[in-house]
Amino acid sequence: MNNRIAVFTNGFSNEYIEHVVTGLQNKAAEDGVDVFIFVTYCSANENELQNKCQLNLFHLPDPDTFDGAVMLTNTYNFSDEQERVCARFQRAGVPMLSLEVEVPNMSCVKTENYKGIRDLATHLVEHHNAKKIIFVNGIEGNVENSIRRQALIDVLEEHGLELYTEFKCDFGFYTAYLQMNWFLSDGKELPDAIVCANDNMALGINSSLCEHGYSVPEDVLLTGFDMISDGQYTFPILSTVSRGWDKLGEIAYEKLKYQREHPDERFVEEYQSHFIPSESCGCPASEVSQQMRHDMIRNSYFENLQKSIIDIFFQRMQIPLSMAENKADFYEKGIKNNTRDIPQLGQNYCLCTEPEFFELDDEEYPARIRGYSSNMDILYELREGQQYSLRQFDSKELYPDYVHEEGKSNLYIFAPMNYLNFIIGYIAIKNSPKLLFNLDLGVVVKNMNVQLFSMRRHIFSERRNQELKKIYMTDALTGMYNRTGCENVLYDYITSRKEQKLKSILVFADIDRMKTINDMHGHLNGDFAIKATAESFKAHSPKEWLFGRYGGDEFIAVGPCPESDTIEDLIRQISESMSNEFKSLNLSFILHASIGYTIIEPDEDAGIDDYIERADIYMYNEKEKYHKYIDSAVQQSQDS
C-alpha cells in the first residue's frame, strides 16, 4: 500500500470540487491516506497552447505510487483532459473511478440528470402555467447537457408544447449573460420561463434581465441546475436541481476501496437528482437557504478583502521583479520584502520551476509538453510559515521532502504553471484547499504565470543589454575595453577607489614606431603587433588590474596602487618581460612598448585624460631612450 490516492479535476467547478474533496478527505482521514489533487484550468476561452501545456501536469505523478485515482470527469471541458489521465493511470492498471461521466473500462458513480429536470419542468408547466420556455445549453456535445435538455423537451411534448427557443452557451456566466443581452436587444418577447443547464448560466441570465429592467420571478421564471452556493446567496434564490454532492465524495472513496478489492469488476452506480423549488420560480425559499444568504451578506466584506489581498500581493511584486537579474531574485527582491504572503495558500506551499526556465532563451528553451525535469528548482517555499529561498529537489517527490505520516491524512494540491508553450513548473499546496474551493487558485496561478514570465523576459532583456554594452565597450581586436570602456569602466573603478580613500595606479603603454611597422610590414603585421602587445601587457601585469585599448597603439591599465618603493621595480619588470616575450616571437620587425605610470591620490579631482597625460610624460622619457637606442643600433648596422 502506498497510502495515497490521486484526484484529477478541472478547477472551474469549484463548489462541486469542494463537496467531493471534502468527502474524500473525511473518509481518507479514517484510513490515514493522503489525497493528491491535480487540477488544471483549461477553458474554451483560453489560448489553445495555454490549454495544451497545462495537460503536462498529468505526467507529473507516477501511477505506480498511488493506490487508486478518482477522476471528476464531468468537470473537463475537452476530451484531451480525460484521455491524458486515462493514458497514464488507467493503462498502468491503477484502480480508477469516474464521477458523473461513464468512461470505457472504468467504474462510474454518477447522479442521473433526467429526473431532476423532469420534475422541474413539470412544476413550471403545471404549477406556474409556463408555456413559452427557453433552454440555455452548456457546451455542445456535453452528455449531461444533452440529458437535461431532453428531459425538458419530453415534458413539453407531453403537454403539447415545444421550446420557445434555446441559447448555445458553455456553462459559463458571461456567455449566458451575453446571449440574454442579444435576445433582449432584438426586442423579442420574454418567455414565461428560462431553464438553464446549470446555475452559473442562470446567474448570468438573471444579471442581464436586471440590467434591462426585468425582475425574476415577476416578469419571467428562472431555474438552474447543481444548487451551487452562489445561486443560494443571490436575490432571488435560485430554483435548481440538487445532485447530492455533499455525499458524493464519501461514496466515491468507499467505491474506490471496493474497486481496489475487486480490480476486474466494472460497475456503474447512479443516484437520483432532486428538484428544489425556490424564489426564482415564484415559490418560497427554505429557511436554510435564507439563512445561508444572510450569512453570506454578513461575511461579504471579509470575503472581498481576502480577494483584495491576492491582488495586493502581486501588485507589490511587480516593480521588484521588474528589476530581477536572476531567478534567486524572485525571493530576494519579490518575496523577502513583501510584507505578507497570500494567507489563503496556508502555511505550506511552494513554487516548483523548471531549472532552465530562467537560463535558456526562447530559441533554446525546449517547447516540451511531456513531463517535468527530475531536478527542479524550488523557486520559493513557505514551510510551517517560514520562508525559504531557492533550492532544488527531485520532482518524483511531487511535494518537496514528501513522506507519508503514518496514521495521518494530508491533502496536497498541484496546479500547472505555464505561459503558452513555455512550461514554467507547478505550484504545490499542502492542507489548504480553500483557494481551490472558491476559484481563487486559478487567479493565483494565472497571476503567477504572468509574473514569472515577465520576470524571465526582464532577466533576458538585461542579459542582452549587458552583452550589447560589452560589445559596445570592447575592442574587437584585443578583447580589452575600448576607449568608451576606458572612459566608463576604468574611470568608474578609479572613482570607487577614491570613495574608499584608496590610491590607484594608472599604467600607460605605447607601441614604439607603430607607423613604421604598418608602412614597412603591412597592416596585418600591424594588427598582430597590437594584439601581441595587448596580450603580453595583460599577462605580465597584476591579475587584478583592468585593461583597455585607449587608442590605435595605446593601452592603459588601472589597479590598486602598490607600495611606493616597489612601483619602479614593477614597471621595469613588466617592460622587460614584455620585451623578452617579443624577442622570443622571432618577428620580422622590432616590437617594443614604452611604459609610463602615474599615482592617483584619493583626494584628486581630475579626468582619465589628465591621468593619461601624466603617465604619458613619464613614458615619453622611456620612449626617447628606446628610440635613441634603436637609431644607434640601425646606424651601426648600416656602417658595418
DSSP helix, strand, coil percent of the chain (3-state; round to 5)? 50, 20, 35
How does 33-54 read in b/e, with b if 16+ C-beta sit within 10 Å?
bbbbbbbbbbbeeeeeebbbbb
Share of the chain above pLDDT 70, in %: 97
Closest C-alpha among 227, 239, 242, 141 to residue 194: 239
**Candidate from 275-279, 303-307, 575-579 with smallest mean pLDDT:** 303-307
Cell of 242: 440538487
The pLDDT score that the predictor gives to residue 343 is: 77
CA distances from 551 to 339, 478, 483, 530, 534 (A): 52, 12, 7, 11, 12
Q: Which residues contact 92 (CB under 8 A, 6 or more apart)?
A: 63, 64
Asked if residues 309 and 235 have their Cβ atoms less than 8 Å apart, the reply is: no
d(CA 75, CA 10): 5
- Helix (H), strand (E), coil (C) string for 459-519: HHHHHHHHHHHHHHCECCCCCCECHHHHHHHHHHHHHHHHHCCCCEEEEEEEECCHHHHHH
Nearest to 411 by CA among 32, 99, 146: 32
- Determine the pLDDT at residue 305: 75
pLDDT at 364: 82
Average pLDDT of span 534-563 = 95
Rg (CA), the chain: 38
| H or E element that contains 383 | strand 375-383
Digit-coded pLDDT (tens) for 28-86: 999 999 999 999 999 877 888 888 889 899 999 999 999 999 999 988 888 878 888 88
3 state DSSP class of 273: coil
Query: Is 171's pLDDT higher than 70?
Result: yes
> How far is the CA of 434 from the CAs of 172, 248, 307, 408, 614, in angstroms?
21, 19, 12, 20, 72
Grid coordinates representing 629 are: 637606442
Average pLDDT, integer, range 538-559: 94
Q: Produce one character per residue of 198-229: b if its CB has 16 or more CB atoms within 10 Å, e if not.
A: bbbbbbbbbbbbeeeeeebbeebbbbbbbbbb
pLDDT score of 22 more than 70: yes
Contacts of 332 (CB under 8 A, 6+ apart): 389
Per-residue confidence (pLDDT) for residue 629, from 0 to 100: 60
- From the options 1.20.140.10, 3.30.70.270, 3.40.50.1980, 3.40.50.150, give the CATH code of 483-639: 3.30.70.270
Res. 176: pLDDT tops 70: yes
pLDDT at 313: 86
Q: Using 50, 70 and 90 to split pLDDT, how confident is the model at 449?
A: very high
pLDDT of residue 358: 93
At residue 301, the pLDDT reads: 73
Instruction: Please tell me the distance from the alpha carbon of residue 51 to that of residue 81, in angstroms, as a whole number.
Output: 9
Q: Tell me the C-alpha distance between 163 and 60, whole Å.
A: 46
Identity of the residue numbered 325: E
State pTM to two decimals. Answer: 0.75
**Does the pLDDT value for residue 338 go beyond 80?**
no
pLDDT of residue 163: 97
Q: What are the tens digits of pLDDT across the range 67-77?
A: 999 999 988 88
Q: Which value, to the nearest 10 degrees, does the dihedral of the CA atoms of residues 462, 463, 467, 468 take? A: -30
C-alpha–C-alpha distance, residues 134 and 194, integer Å: 5
SS3 assignment, position 382? strand
Residue carrying the nine cell digits 474524500:
24
φ, ψ (nearest 5 deg) of residue 190:
-65, 145
Q: What is the pLDDT of residue 317?
A: 87
Confidence tier at 339 by pLDDT (50, 70, 90): low
Spatial distance between the Cα atoms of 178 and 498, rounded to a whole number of angstroms: 69
* End-to-end Cα separation, the chain, in angstroms: 101
> Residues 538, 574: contact at Cβ < 8 Å?
no
Residue showing cell 497510502: 3
Show the cell assigned to 391.
533550492
Each residue's pLDDT tens digit, 200-225: 999 999 999 999 999 999 999 999 99
Q: How confident is the model at residue 368 (pLDDT cuts 50, 70, 90)?
A: low
Question: The cell 462541486 sits on which residue?
Answer: 16
* Cα angle for residues 563, 567, 570 (degrees, 5° grid): 120
pLDDT in tens, 528-540: 999 999 999 999 9
Cis peptide before 217 (omega within 30 of 0): yes
State yes or no: cis peptide before 416, omega within 30 of 0. no
Q: Is residue 433 predicted with pLDDT exceeding 80?
A: yes
**b/e per residue 60-76 (b: at least 16 CB within 10 A):** bbebeebbbbbbbbbbb
Q: Name the average pLDDT for the chain.
A: 91
- Contact by Cβ (8 Å): 546, 493: yes
Cell numbers that stand for 328 in this block: 534567486
Task: Record the cell numbers describing residue 176, joined without a space.
Answer: 449566458
Lowest mean pLDDT among 169-178, 306-315, 630-639: 630-639
Beta-carbon contacts of residue 573 (< 8 Å; ≥ 6 apart): 540
> What percent of the chain is predicted at pLDDT more than 90?
67
- Count Cβ atoms within 10 A of the Cβ of residue 628 and give its class: 0-12 exposed, 13-18 middle, 19 or more buried: exposed
Mean pLDDT, to the nearest integer, of 599-605?
91
> Tell me: the pLDDT tens digits for 402-430?
999 999 999 999 999 999 889 999 999 99
Measured between alpha carbons, how far is 268 from 97 in angstroms, rounded to an integer? 10
Report the run of H or E that residue 294 belongs to, with start and end.
helix 287-321
| C-alpha cell recorded at residue 397 | 517527490
CA–CA separation, 268 and 307 (whole Å): 40
What's the average model confidence in pLDDT over 619-624? 74
H helix or E strand, kind and range, residue 40: strand 34-40
pLDDT recorded at residue 632: 58
Confidence of residue 640 (pLDDT cuts 50, 70, 90): low
Phi and psi based region of residue 181 (left: phi greater than 0; alpha: psi -120 to 50; beta: remaining): alpha
SS (H, E, C) 59-79: HCCCHHHCCEEEECHHHCCCH
The structural domains of the chain, with segments of one domain joined by +, span: 4-111+291-461, 483-639
The number of residues making up the chain comes to 640
- Write down the residue that cell numbers 440555455 correspond to: 136
Q: What is the mean pLDDT of residues 233-251?
A: 92
Q: Is pLDDT of 4 > 70?
A: yes
Single-letter residue type at 445: V
- Show the CA angle centred on residue 242, arms to residues 241 and 246, nearest 5°: 165
Which residues are 166's β-sheet partners?
135
Neighbours of 464 (CB within 10 A): 11
- Residue type (1 letter), 449: N
